[in-house]
Amino acid sequence: MKPKRLFLGTVLVLTLSFALVVVSFASCSSCKKGGCSSFAAGKLATVSGCTMSGHTCDGNCDFTLKVVPGGTHKSGEMYRIEWPGLPGGFGHEIKTEIPQAPVTYTYFQIECPIGNEHQVFFGENTCGTKEELQTLSAEEGLIDWTQAAALALQRGKTAREAIKALGEIIGKYGLGGAGGLSCGESFLITDPNEAWCMEIPGYTNEWVAERIPDDQVCPHANRMRIGEIDLSNPDYFMASPNLIKNAQEKGLYDPEKDGPFNFEKIYNTESNRNSWGNRRREWRMLSLLCPSKKWDPNALIYPFSVKPDKKISPQWWINNIWRDHLEGTPYDLTKGIPAGPFGCPERPSISDITFERNICIPRTSYSWVSQARSWLPDWIGGVIWFGLDCPHSSCYVPFYVGISQTPKSWRTGDFTKFSKESARWYFQALDNYSCLRFNEMNADVRAVFDRTEDIELAMQPYIDKAASELYKIDPALAQRFLTNFSGDCALKAENEARDLFYSLIAKYADGKPRTTVNKEWMEILKKYTVPVSAQ
């Protein structure tokens, strides 16, 4: 290795190590996984008429994005449920086998599988459910929450098919708790025509699903969201046969006293239902979607879904929701003493101190927003705008669902050691290093990445058209074209992240260039200054 490369590599590793020691962040208390934010939107709620869904996977979640091919399977073939996670990340203890489906579909594997070749997408939230409603022991709940999404994506060509397939599997094998806790799961599911929310209590065979109206958006933040259900309306509701009966038998629901069955009120744990972090994130998403309404930031319950004031797009969601730090509100994390002199929204983990739980956080392993477009072939219509690490310091890359593989560096890595062969570490480096002087360094990061994202967005109609023409001639050729395009976008973003990190080291060496801070911090700093003549 050349001396210059050796020096730069050493600087990178040392800087990462220092930043990771100084800036370590507490996990969300809602469940062991760390807490996630998700949403789904109907096709009449979006600018282009696509459905949308998305997820910030927060915590030490497997960030390696892989394409798992579908196929046909022989009678008697078994599917192994086993997902070890990454070194240093969340482990998954459930190991079992269930009969394989005769036909399975290609899907994106990651901590919580994202989508399949038929434009079915799965956002995810871990949600607490009452222990008294459990019907299974830890040994009896055989479906791990990560593999629940994988099983549905393997077996469903539409959102309804995926929900019914997963419902049958849960009914037979049961859902285990996330991280060994009594947590259940909520999935935000879309296909090109419909958007749904499916919720599964932990250690049960029960489940419920509600369709999101076509002109509305459902925000989600780690607590069950489905309220009153009407099983006489199968176009909008589905559920396991014993969902209500289980609550009645456990003495938690009396139709005569309680009225219509309210799933979230009965199955949610009180801690998750009352959690400020969960409620505040729902409030924030709603206030950004519908600023014309005055939303109470301290309310206990918000609507399941809302019609946005203006139609949304993937880029709007990424910039306004996934990158939000509660700016402009009384809870703004870029303001005040904890934000430091440079307005950093990230917070170190300090004993006996709890800060606001916003949406954009440093412990995000990956995040994404999907498009499902009914007017294009599935391989071309389905796109995942995918970003590694914290959203405010990441670059979102378009991965089409028809691709055959992702770049090696985007499917490589672990949490225990830095690797220049893993794309994630360059985005992690940017996020950690920019905390030293956030307002200026993050502006430098966004200047580069925003331009890249704008170019990708501008190219999308032309890529769609070219891929569609190739698809008519030879689908395999279209797949190769999309694989190359998505791979090139990913590698470009990775290279930019690496180069950006090195450029920030040079630009801000030794605390330069000279800067200014806000009045609040100037008053504090003046107490520690000396006259210029004394320097």
pLDDT class of 92 with cuts at 50, 70, 90 = confident
Q: How far apart are CA 376 and CA 314, in angstroms?
A: 17
What's the mean pLDDT when you consider all of the chain? Answer: 91
Percent of the chain with pLDDT over 90: 83
Instruction: State the average pLDDT over residues 458-477.
Output: 98
- CATH number of 279's domain: 3.60.60.10
pLDDT class of 83 with cuts at 50, 70, 90 = confident
pLDDT digits (tens, 9 = 90+) for 362-387: 999 999 999 999 999 999 999 999 99
CA gyration radius for the chain? 23
For residue 75, give its domain range: 1-535
Instruction: State the average pLDDT over residues 497-525.
Output: 93
Q: Report pLDDT for 529.
A: 85
pLDDT digits (tens, 9 = 90+) for 194-220: 999 999 999 999 999 999 999 999 999
Residues 33, 180: contact at Cβ < 8 Å? Answer: no
CA-CA-CA-CA torsion for 125, 400, 359, 395, nearest 10 degrees? 150
The answer on pLDDT for 296 being more than 50 is yes
Q: Report pLDDT for 29.
A: 37
Paired tokens of 392: 């405010």
The answer on pLDDT for 262 being more than 80 is yes
Q: What is the pTM of this model?
A: 0.92
Indicate the pairing of strand 397-400 with strand 383-388.
antiparallel
pLDDT digits (tens, 9 = 90+) for 412-454: 999 999 999 999 999 999 999 999 999 999 999 999 999 999 9
Number of structural domains the chain divides into: 1
Q: Report pLDDT for 182.
A: 64
Strands (E), 1-156: 37-41, 51-58, 66-68, 71-72, 78-81, 96-99, 103-104, 107-109, 121-128
